[in-house]
């Protein structure tokens, strides 16, 4: 008897395009009411996974069950119960803001009266009521993204799929989107999202998997992942460019759990950052700048893959 609270279950899920394996046998479960994230750089296989979940891309192997149904056979029935916010805006630029919701709702077979009632509520929710009768094209990137979110909610989905919800938005617009998604989460909407921003993952996800090169590298809550794969504090040191490598050799002598030498900085993973900085200075080194901070998911990703998230 399958657990009714498991909305999506994947076992050995695989997606191949010719010789290229985009998703390489991943396992995960999505539970009702949670916000579940896929964190990874571009090309990690996140979007391919989202497309399989959205029933617009048949899996090449493994098992995938969505809402207890088979995505290959029951695609339309599953899609009727999903909300999809794709990475690239697919808004209808020949229609107004309101008409975008109307027509999208019609694609679900919803009566116009129901759509009109939901449209008023959704436009209010994404703060676009005043733009309801405007064309879509002149809207800012943040507004378009919010409209896409509103559109994905028109069928009152059981699962909301967000593929890179704030990629390409300026910081202020990102925060507005995060705020709206956080409200949805608090209303109990089940979210599944991909991101290559660690702050987005930390803010929105109850649970996430770190994905790299088509595989899942680790799974847990942001806190659990940081505890398991990083130290409480990180000391970031920056030296003069010409001294960078030399300094790195010397810093290695300071006590730390782990050291990462990036192109522009040296990261020391430690329990106490201030003590580590004192130790570095005791070695006779004086960094140009130094910063003691808490570990983030970025550090988890670096530890797991040896690369930075933004590098892709």
Residues that bind other proteins (CB under 8 A): 17, 54, 56-58, 69-70, 72-77, 79-80, 82, 84, 86, 88, 90-95, 99, 102-104, 106-109, 135, 155
User: Pairing relation of β-strands 215-220 and 207-212?
Assistant: antiparallel
Q: Residue 79 CB, nearest distance to other proteins (Å)?
A: 5
User: Measured from the CB atom, is 163 or 236 closer to other proteins?
Assistant: 163
For other proteins, the closer of residues 69 and 248 by Cβ is 69
Radius of gyration of the chain (CA): 22
Least distance in angstroms from the C-beta of 2 to other proteins: 13
Q: Which C-beta is closer to other proteins: that of 28 or that of 104?
A: 104
Side-chain-facing half-sphere of 293: CA atoms under 13 Å: 11
Helix (H, G, I), strand (E, B) or coil at 179: helix
CA distance 293 to 270: 10
Structure tokens belonging to residue 291:
């910063």
CB-count burial class (<10 Å; 0-12, 13-18, 19+) for 75? middle
Complex with other proteins: residue 42 or 90, whichever CB lies closer: 90
Cβ closer to other proteins: 155 or 190? 155
Residue 107 C-beta: closest distance to other proteins, Å: 4
Which residue number, 73 or 282, has a Cβ lying nearer to other proteins?
A: 73
- The nearer residue to other proteins, 74 or 243, going by C-beta atoms, is 74
Q: Which two tokens stand for residue 263?
A: 């192109």
Contact 142, 177 (CB under 8 A): yes
**What b-and-e string marks burial along 279-304, b requiring 16 or more CB atoms within 10 Å of the CB?**
bbeeeebebeebebeebbbbbbbbbb
Give least dist CB 73 to other proteins, A.
4
The stretches of the chain forming alpha helices (DSSP H) are: 46-53, 75-79, 97-107, 112-125, 141-152, 171-186, 198-204, 222-229, 244-251, 273-282, 297-305
**Three-class SS of residue 54?**
coil
Q: Which is nearer to other proteins, 147 or 266 (CB)?
A: 147
* 87 vs 224 by CB, closer to other proteins: 87
Number of Cβ within 10 Å of residue 84's Cβ equals 21
- Cβ count within 10 A of residue 110: 18
Sign (positive/negative) of CA torsion 213, 214, 215, 219?
Answer: positive
Task: Encode 157-192: b = buried (16+ Cβ within 10 Å), e = exposed.
Answer: bbbbbbbbbbbebeeebbebbbebbeebbeeebbbb
Provide the minimum distance between the beta carbon of 183 and other proteins in the complex, in angstroms, as a whole number.
21
CB of residue 66 to other proteins, shortest distance in Å: 12
């Amino acid at each position: 008897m399958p657990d009714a609270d498991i909305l999506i279950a994947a076992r050995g899920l695989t997606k191949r395009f010719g010789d290229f394996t985009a998703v390489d046998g991943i396992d995960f479960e999505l539970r009702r009411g949670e916000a579940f994230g896929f964190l990874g750089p571009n090309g990690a296989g996140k979007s391919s996974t989202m497309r399989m979940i959205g029933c617009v891309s048949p899996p090449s192997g493994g098992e995938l069950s969505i809402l207890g149904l088979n995505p290959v056979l029951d695609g339309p029935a599953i899609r009727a119960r999903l909300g999809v916010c794709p990475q690239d805006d697919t808004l209808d630029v020949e229609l107004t803001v309101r008409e975008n919701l109307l027509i999208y709702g019609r694609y679900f077979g919803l009566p116009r009266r129901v759509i009109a009632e939901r449209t008023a509520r959704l436009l209010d929710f994404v703060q676009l009521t005043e733009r309801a009768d405007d064309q879509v094209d002149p809207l800012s990137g943040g507004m378009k993204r919010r409209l896409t979110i509103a559109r994905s909610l028109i069928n009152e989905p059981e699962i909301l799929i967000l593929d890179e919800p704030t990629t390409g938005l300026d910081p202020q617009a990102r925060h507005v989107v995060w705020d709206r998604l956080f409200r949805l989460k608090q209303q109990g909407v089940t979210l599944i999202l991909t991101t290559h921003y660690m702050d987005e993952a930390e803010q929105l996800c109850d649970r996430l998997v770190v994905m790299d090169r088509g595989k899942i590298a680790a799974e847990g809550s942001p806190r659990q992942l940081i505890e398991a794969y990083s130290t409480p504090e990180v000391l970031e040191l920056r030296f003069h460019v010409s001294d960078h490598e030399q300094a790195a050799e010397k810093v290695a002598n300071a006590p730390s759990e782990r050291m990462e030498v990036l192109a522009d900085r040296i990261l020391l993973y430690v329990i106490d950052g201030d003590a580590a900085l004192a130790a570095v200075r005791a070695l006779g080194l004086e960094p140009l700048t130094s910063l003691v901070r808490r570990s983030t998911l970025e550090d988890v990703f670096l530890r797991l893959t040896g690369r930075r998230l933004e590098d892709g």
